[in-house]
Amino acid sequence: MDYELIDSGNLRRLEKFGKFILDRPDPDCLWNKTLSESEWQKADAIYLRSAIDKGYWKKKHNFPERWEINHNNLKFNLRLSPFKHTGCFPEQSWEWDFIQENTNDCFKLLNLFGYTGVASLAGLVGGAEVTHVDASRPSITWFKENQSLSGLNDRKARVILDDALKFTEREIKRGNRYDGVVMDPPSFGHGPKGETWNFKDHFPQLLNNVLKLLSDSSKFVIANAYAVSTSHITLFNLLNDVLVKERGGRVESGELMLDETASGKKISTGIFAIWRS
């Protein structure tokens, strides 16, 4: 991927997305930085917080509103969001490869909480018919931009602005089925009509809905989670209890990690679990 974790420490990360270097906060980077401050000062944009502001980016002159990066044959735009994010999570790049390698033109993929849709792009490149669901209209627009940028407008993509729980309930009633499902739920969130989402309250219910949406030939379910105050063992146990119990197969889980260039250390950014039939 066109990404590098250059250094980390003192509650910060120094990262390169394409040709731009970003300095972002990370409350789990409790160790000391490896590189000198002069190296950190090469950042093109720094995310800062103050007692008054929730957070803002301090950018060098002529920093673009958006820029393009690549992962294998995927292309997508990045932006500096008010919440320190950029529009992709590099630690998920192995999942994009897995999706692309395990889909084909007979495959139906459901991406819930699809965000800017890099996982959806991977499915489209693999030949899948993709249903991309997100509760944020700007994220839906962003995905469509990425689809066009990757030259995938001719592929089958159903793009839906909706609450994930409500959508899956309606899909069950409609009798629609999927061969693979990707979920990237937030810890807390809101649907387009004010619906509330709480990971610990609603994820088990969503997972049970997903079970009912799996086709007889389904291959995988991927779940990622960030800032949920639990371990990947929780995801493992949930997927094992709901999916393996009913459909067989196996579950793997672990931490989503990045490799740092400066010291060689790994840093954890979130958790994942994957069920394979």
> pLDDT of 9-44, one tens digit each?
999 999 999 999 999 999 999 999 999 999 999 999
Q: Which domains does the chain have, with CATH numbers?
A: 87-276 (3.40.50.150)
Closest CA to 11 of 36, 31, 38: 31
Given a contact cutoff of 8 angstroms between Cβ atoms, the answer to whether 114 and 95 are in contact is no
Q: Which residues of the chain have pLDDT under 70?
A: 51, 53
pTM of the model: 0.96
Q: How far apart are CA 204 and CA 197, in angstroms?
A: 12
**Contact residues for 263 (Cβ-Cβ < 8 A; gap 6+):** 7, 34
Residue given tokens 């996982």 in the structure block: 119
**Contact residues for 213 (Cβ-Cβ < 8 A; gap 6+):** 110, 168, 171, 172, 176, 177, 178, 181
Radius of gyration of the chain (CA): 19
pLDDT of residue 73: 87
pLDDT of residue 51: 67
Q: Is 100 helix (H, G, I), strand (E, B) or coil?
A: helix
For residue range 138-171, list pLDDT tens digits in order: 999 999 999 999 999 999 999 999 999 999 999 9
Angle at 52 between CA 116 and CA 14, to 5 degrees: 50
pLDDT of residue 54: 80
Question: Residue 259 forms beta bridges with which residues?
Answer: 266
Give the DSSP H or E segment for 208.
Answer: helix 199-213
Average pLDDT, the chain: 96
pLDDT of residue 263: 97
Q: What ranges in 29-102 are assigned the alpha helix state H?
A: 37-40, 93-101
Closest CA to 214 of 274, 172, 169, 165: 172
Closest CA to 23 of 3, 42, 49, 43: 43
